[in-house]
Structure 1
């Protein structure tokens, strides 16, 4: 084997490179041609990627943007950059005329290509829809069937068969680039629909178009603005300005407001009706027309400046190559060796999805002037704080730092850090004030460049000041929570809110300890034990005793809530009492005690998983597989993780078990494939079972952290850790601290087919440990389950 081939395999070490080469050729020769063809070119749907992954390709070539578009994943499909403001992609409706709520669907008709999308959810955007059309123009009916669809990181293409026109898309941060290859036509058009929206309607979570204007500036320029409101977050009005410029002069142009198309160069409308414009052409066969569409939330002039600054020429392929290079760089902090083609695709696509949101809108804040970064589309922190935030802290610390600074700046100008935000409006708040955990996670992991005293003020306001509208900001039920130690049944989501607030208070106590505020550390550490105040130790269901239960305002028990998956008005939000009764990441030791001891706790967890109370499709249960570690059963954690990896995730269009929620689901997968998982808001990582023989992570310090797995086997038979070393020293714990890897190092795991006593003796930290993980001032309070649960009896 020559050196160039060794280099092309991107191996971590020469020894590992030889092993990986052997595995590569063995794998290539051990599968059928059909399987290889499917793996190389797409999934069961037969949809190819634009560039086949090769040994010399960067990590962006492994990204399969279609992964997760079906079965509820709702991931974005189209052209964008990491944290880009513009996410340019197709908007699809099914053959019965129902639009895809997130924009894309595998089947159906393409309505055009809009410039703003979320990823992993729905209920917002779909603004400034551009479409190429041939034949008589009817703005209400331009949708087309499609063929030859391809997508890769930073690029999308499709043939619109109704018009025999090839559409190609790429993007910069704030500009969408379109390249259309037309057939011969005396009646060709490029249309821009200003009124188009996803989830357009009059429902509580629908969006409405409330007016706008469009101007044909010349034979190759169109500009305008649309005004929109609503969506999942029930947000106020947001405005999207655009500037569209073509490289080809049009022979004519038209505008429309309402149903009538006119030759007027200006159109405007108030209210929810059609609004748009067209540039009209006579095209020859194979004629290419390019567009640049600048987007701004500030002004048309800013939209034009965005085009000039970010895409000054007409080199579509150059911009596309730059997008690919940007994605290669963003994905490069993690390198994996020994992965199958399918695993590599899963891993780097998950990493790609985790880097899509929030949206970097620095310089595009229409609400106030500030020198701080501005990010939007925290959609929602309730989803992302558990795993996506800790992942960004590791591999994109500058982005995470700027996003946190933006959260603090939103607090300065609007009064609260958001729990969710989109369209420049905070809301809706699903659970606790989870930005508190995001700040604490950064603090305990040593992230600098953040005004932690301002963050501390924001966190204390979350904990002390009831908001005017609790679905949009702050903590609902706060007066009862602070006076009684729990949210009562008089408020919605009282169960999930209580346990989440308790963890948020733990996060505040962490920062109080670090800043030397002993009184605040004491106060919030005490409240961090409030999770136990809803425990009814006599409530039995499913063979298990002891669950959280609603309490009336007078402190008496309300009837148990056995809803399988609650929503806004229920006791628990997007989970059940099996999940939320075990939500105390700050004190799993206390959970074990109140559950009756380790054996009872393991039985409870087994029952939860075996009777399918665990919901991999939703975030509240993300930590549950790891809870066995506190009971001395890391083998059980491993079994549950492997079960989820094998049954719930794949490299196909149906490869995610549920909504990706801004990369929340994908970041869970990234961590679990690497073999460890964060306890968000704490400096602790929990060891599971790696999916690769070797991986490297470039740490924020500039050093490299390696995970080396001895006796690795692809069938996951050797799934249990037999022994471990960290930085050359024996590691008997199934967990480690961020500080132990911050300056790089090596975690070496020796694997085997049967469990041993490794990792069984010292559990991860808990508040009720003999030595509290908090500072001495906070630890002086009785905050364990044994001291707080008496009030719940």
Structure 2
């Protein structure tokens, strides 16, 4: 549930140096990495969602309270899953770790007659225009020596915190508008507006000798201060010292999860990127079990789905494969949201509001539910889930789709047709043939989104993309979609044009590109790289036209040139781990087709990989794999593109370029023979389509 990091107020996620923009290279907001303290609850590499969390800022200081909000440079940063450490310009060494519902800070001070730890409960969002989150109401009180608690209502959600400070014998006081409240034990704010907000919080202060350590323990809850206190006591009970014990438990848990995917071969850098990508893939969604402030029942509450548009293609299939219990928890939480609010949300963050990101897409939860049902994931009442799946298809854009078979934005036509297909498969499996037939008939309306004259989507408005970016979605009837474009050859021609085969190189725009530059770039109608969601599955469209060798070339180029180990090592917004999950799958030589319980097969980046799955272990092994060649000067050269020559699943020849997801989840061995030249493998049998389930 809890995350924590150094807070600069800049993009991304409150830690960083940049302001937000949508075109060109990001503009620098700060010249150096700096922090005004350490905050809790962050997004994970998402784009412009208006506000981030960054609540309850804790600031260690040797300056007066008037200097609160000043930033200090960060030195000697160290980070690993569940742990962060740095030293501020002020000489204070700062360490943070988190548990499930707690954060523990440890500050080692230089000598000072008046050191402070300041807790700012008014902080939220980013220090950029329209990025600040202002609490609506707040309550804070001292409850005893070294103890305090408070609740702030932000975006309509009550966030409670119980605080314990352990260290030298310090005084504690409340403060408001950077002025101490001597003798006060309680602050209440019934209504706060942008114009009336003045910072407020708690302060712990006193003299320190060089090397003195202060530990700040925070328990969080969305159901009040008492539950926040219980959360802290439960996770810290018997821990000695508390910081080290919480850190060790979190490190252990992360190691177990990351260890569910193991790779062999490749360079050190490529293995590092792979491990980092897997870590990023598992940070979100955040689960606050038994913490929903919107309904009283116990159970999983996924409060940080930003958004399904980011997660449904790559990340949720990864959770289903290596963390199926958490995938079930996510779906249970979404079903509960649908019960309480009337529809499945596209995004769900720690906020009460009707927005829920519905402009991005429609009916995306249906893909995950269809996969979960096909895989027989336990713990879901499928009859009840089907009720919500079917009802949700008629809401928002679904009403117009039902009446007209077409909606704008045109991408929602594709979403809703696909959602109907996914729901039909569940209805069919549950024996409701009438409903299944009715839904499957409407699922064929995806064709209404395309212009037969061009083989592309019709003109429309598009979210974070354009007509070409969205035109290569892997719909549930790719055979008919390719026929609509004029057949294999015509489809391949337009797909080649999208990926720039045979075209001249392009120049990337720098900071503040002119409208003319941007218009010229969009007019190219080209794949922009893995910087956003709309076309991240497009390289695999070649599989459906009998050219998996093209997929190998594009994916290989992306893995080699677009990802790295340093700052800027991601080609775009990670979007809660959606992009990192793409990297994990692409490196393994698999790609999930969400909603169809299907994996496409491609040349992997590693000689061998093993996934922990429900049925034991699924191994992807290769023969003929080649890593980066090393020249006579000892320098690594660009690795060669490799192509699948032949494949075997559990010792039996595999002629098709796809696997049933159940085969992967059951465990087994996929052996791929690789070579330096394209081969006929996979060109005869296509992945299944609605009108051609056997791919012949």
Residue equivalent to 1:471 = none
Q: State the SS of the aligned residue for 2:687.
A: coil
Could you say what secondary structure the match of 2:499 adopts?
Answer: helix
2:427–2:435 Cα contact (<8 Å) kept: yes
CA contact (8 A) 2:146 2:172 kept: no
Distance in 2, matches of 1:268 and 1:143, equals 28
Residue 390 (structure 2) pairs with residue 460 (structure 1): yes
Match of 2:357 in 1: 428
Q: What TM-score results when the alignment is normalised by the length of structure 1? A: 0.78
- In structure 2, what is the equivalent of residue 40 of structure 1? none
The alignment partner of 1:286 has SS state of coil
Alignment of 1:1-400 (within 5 A): 85-93=1-9, 99-105=10-16, 107-121=32-46, 123-138=51-66, 140-161=68-89, 163-199=90-126, 203=130, 206-229=132-155, 237-248=156-167, 250-263=169-182, 264-269=184-189, 270-271=191-192, 272-312=197-237, 313=239, 314-400=241-327
Is 1:619–2:528 an aligned residue pair? no
**2: CA distance between counterparts of 1:251 and 1:632?**
72
Q: 1:219 to 1:739 in 2, by over 3 A?
A: closer
Structure 2 CA distance for aligned equivalents of residues 371 and 198 of structure 1: 29
Q: Which residue of 1 aligns with 2:338?
A: 411
Matching residue of 1:437: 367
> CA contact under 8 A between 1:127 and 1:194: conserved in structure 2?
yes
Matched, 1:708 2:621: yes
Contact 1:201 1:208 in 2 (8 A): no
1:411 and 1:666 map into 2 onto residues whose CA distance is 28
Partner of 1:594: 484
Q: CA deviation at 1:278?
A: 0.3
1:378 deviates by 1.0
CA distance in 2, matches of 1:510, 1:721: 32
Q: Distance in 2 between matches of 1:260 and 1:289?
A: 23
Matching residue of 1:483:
403
Q: 1:200, 1:208 within 8 Å by CA — same for their partners in 2?
A: no
Counterpart of 1:574? 464
Task: Return the offset for 1:742.
Answer: 2.9
Name the SS of the counterpart of 1:277 in structure 2.
Answer: strand
Take 2:535 and 2:332, find their aligned partners in 1: how far apart are those partners? 28
For the residue of structure 2 that corresponds to 1:662, the secondary structure is: helix
Q: Which runs of 5+ in 2 are unaligned?
A: 18-31, 501-523, 629-638
What displacement does 1:250 show? 4.0
How far apart are residue 424 of structure 1 and its match? 4.5
Higher deviation after alignment, 189-198 or 405-414: 405-414
Matched, 1:648 2:538: no
Partners of 1:504 and 1:607 in 2: CA distance:
29
Query: What TM-score, normalized by structure 2, do the two folds share?
Result: 0.88
Instruction: Give, in angstroms, the shift of residue 533 of structure 1.
Output: 0.6
Q: 2:687 aligns with which of 737, 744, 764?
A: 764
- The C-alpha deviation readout for 1:296-316, integer Å capped at 9, x for no partner, is 111111111111000124332
Cα distance change on mapping 1:360 and 1:479 into 2, 3 Å = closer
> For the Cα contact (< 8 Å) 1:149–1:159, is it kept in 2?
yes
Matched, 1:519 2:434: yes
Q: Give the drift of 1:202.
A: 7.5
Offset from partner CA, 1:260-279 (integer Å, 9 cap, x none): 32222322333132111100
- Residues in 2 aligned to 1:772 and 1:520: alpha-carbon distance in whole angstroms: 26
- CA deviation map 1:36-76 (0-9, x unaligned): xxxxxxxxxxxxxxxxxxxxxxxxxxxxxxxxxxxxxxxxx
What corresponds to 1:52 in structure 2? none
Gap change, CA 1:483 and 1:279, over 3 Å in 2: same
CA distance in 2, matches of 1:746, 1:505: 34
Q: Would the aligned equivalents of 1:486 and 1:498 in 2 still touch at CA under 8 Å?
A: yes
Shift of residue 548 of structure 1? Answer: 2.0
CA distance in 2, matches of 1:687, 1:179: 47
Q: Deviations over 1:705-732 (max 9, x none)?
A: 1101111001343610111111000111
**CA spacing shift, 1:546–1:738, aligned 2, 3 Å:** closer
Superposition RMSD in Å: 1.8
SS in 2 for 1:376: coil
Deviation at 1:371, TM superposition (A): 3.8
Contact 2:14 2:126 in 1 (8 A): no
Aligned partners of 2:292 and 2:304: how far apart in 1? 13
- In the other structure, the counterpart of 1:739 is 662
- Is contact 2:411-2:449 (8 Å) kept? no
Once residues 682 and 304 of structure 1 are traced to their aligned partners in structure 2, the CA distance between those partners, rounded to angstroms, is 44
Alpha-carbon distance in structure 1 between the residues aligned to 2:188 and 2:111 = 33
Which position in structure 1 is the counterpart of 2:548?
634
Displacement of 1:112 after TM fit? 0.8
For 1:750, the equivalent position in structure 2 comes to 673
Distance, in Å, in 1 between the alignment partners of 2:421 and 2:534 is 18
Match of 1:541 in 2: none
Q: How far is the alpha carbon of 1:373 from its aligned partner?
A: 2.0
CA offsets per residue over residues 671-703 of structure 1, 9 Å max, x none? 0000110111112110111111111111112x2
**Aligned positions, number:** 634
> How much has 1:758 moved relative to structure 2?
0.6
What does the per-residue CA deviation read over 1:57-116, in whole Å, with 9 as the maximum and x for residues that have no partner? Answer: xxxxxxxxxxxxxxxxxxxxxxxxxxxx110111114xxxxx335111163320111121
Range moving further from structure 2, 132-141 or 740-749: 132-141
Give, in whole Å, the separation in 2 of the partners of 1:505 and 1:630: 22
Please say if residues 646 and 673 of structure 2, whose CA atoms lie closer than 8 Å, have aligned partners that are also in contact.
yes
**2 CA distance for matches of 1:215 and 1:305?**
17
- Equivalent in the alignment of 2:513: none
Shift of residue 259, structure 1, vs aligned partner: 4.4
- The answer to which of 173-182 and 423-432 deviates more is 423-432
**Cα deviation per residue 1:431-460 (whole Å; 9 max; x = unaligned)?**
112011111111112212211111111111
Asked whether the 8 Å contact 1:219–1:249 carries over to 2, the reply is: no
Deviations 1:495-538 (A, max 9, x none): 11111111111111111111111111111111212221132223
